[in-house]
Amino acid sequence: MSVGVVIPAAGVGKRMGTKESKQFLFLHHSPILVHTLEIFDSHPQVDEIVVVTRADEIERCYEWLDREHLSKVKKVVPGGRERQESVFLGLQQLTTDYVLVHDAVRPFVTSDLVGRIIDLVRVEQAVVTAVPMKDTVKRSDDSRYVSQTIERQSLWAIQTPQAFQRDLLWKAHQRADGKLFATDDSMLVEELGFPVKIIEGEYTNIKITTPDDLLFAEAIFQMRGLKKDDSIRTRV
Ligand SMILES: Nc1ccn([C@@H]2O[C@H](COP(=O)(O)OP(=O)(O)OP(=O)(O)O)[C@@H](O)[C@H]2O)c(=O)n1
Ligand SMILES: C[C@](O)(CO)[C@H](O)COP(=O)(O)O
């Protein structure tokens, strides 16, 4: 059973506020995107990868692929205005039995988690990575008064990778295309009425979104005992 990976990397990083796209910000010796790609390119259960970047960053992406010998990346294609559109554009390049979708700016996903979600999607057809909420979550109206405290026991903070039987994900995106906005891919599958399984992820699998996250990223890098010249996948 073949496994493909879509890496959405076509965002503009508004919340990061840097001139440089956050996916190309360096984490030690490589761009964040490269750290992320190394995990999937070196994983024995991954067959091929498609990267979705901004049109003006395609060439630069190919340069890094060559430099780092990331041979499983079969294509780099331009993305869309929203993440959902970018993912669908990447999905159209894959014909594998299963597809994982993983944010380019989550460089700390572990090979173990990738393996676990691949094993599970073969049984469940739709799986999302998540961690139990640590904070209490409340809903607030426009005036910033609390309108509801949401019972925490059943709440999860959803991450990527998310894994799907390919045709299921294709059907979900095709049905939603231009009609339904979703912040993650599993929401589109939920809209089909298909059960989505949760697999417990890792709190270190952060999405690098705002400048603070770069501090957390450095701490995780050090915590893993990585030396300056190591890539994230080769732990000491
Ligand atoms: N049109 C878009 C928007 C986002 N992404 C990708 O989706 C992932 C998660 O998105 P996010 O963290 O929101 O990135 P940005 O959209 O760049 O951030 P912001 O919302 O702050 O602009 C990132 O790897 C980002 O590059 C994408 O491929 N295409
Ligand atoms: C897909 C995701 O990472 C799951 O938590 C998240 O929804 C992406 O949101 P973003 O605003 O596109 O970063």
What pLDDT, on the 0 to 100 scale, is given for residue 177? 87
Closest C-alpha residue for ligand 2 atom 11: 183
What pLDDT, on the 0 to 100 scale, is given for residue 231? 52
Confidence bin at 85 (pLDDT 50/70/90): very high
CATH of the domain at 216: 3.90.550.10
Q: Is 162 near ligand 2, meaning CB less than 6 Å away?
A: no
Domain span holding position 186: 3-233
Confidence bin at 224 (pLDDT 50/70/90): confident
Please state, in angstroms and rounded to a whole number, the distance separating the CA atoms of residues 104 and 85.
15
What pLDDT, on the 0 to 100 scale, is given for residue 234? 42
> Which ligand is closest to the CA of 16, given by its number?
1
Domain count of the chain?
1
What is the mean predicted confidence (pLDDT) over 120-133? Answer: 98
Which of 103, 158, 173, 183 maximizes ligand 1 atoms within 8 Å of its Cβ, making it the mutation to test the pocket?
103
pLDDT in tens, 86-95: 999 999 999 9
How many angstroms separate the alpha carbon of residue 9 from the centre of ligand 1?
A: 7
Closest C-alpha residue for ligand 1 atom 9: 103
Residue with token string 């989550």 = 106
Atom of ligand 1 nearest to the CA of 12: 17
**Residue 227: CA count within 13 A, CB half-sphere:** 2
Confidence bin at 12 (pLDDT 50/70/90): very high
What is the mean predicted confidence (pLDDT) over 124-140? Answer: 97
% of residues, the chain, pLDDT over 70:
95
Token output for 161: 């990778």
Confidence bin at 227 (pLDDT 50/70/90): low
Q: Is 102 near ligand 2, meaning CB less than 6 Å away?
A: no
How many angstroms separate the alpha carbon of residue 182 from the centre of ligand 1?
A: 13
What pLDDT, on the 0 to 100 scale, is given for residue 65? 98
Closest C-alpha residue for ligand 1 atom 4: 11
How many angstroms separate the alpha carbon of residue 9 from the centre of ligand 2?
A: 12
Q: Is 184 near ligand 2, meaning CB less than 6 Å away?
A: yes
Task: Give the alpha-carbon dihedral of 212, 184, 200, 170, to 10 degrees.
Answer: -140
Atom of ligand 2 nearest to the CA of 103: 3
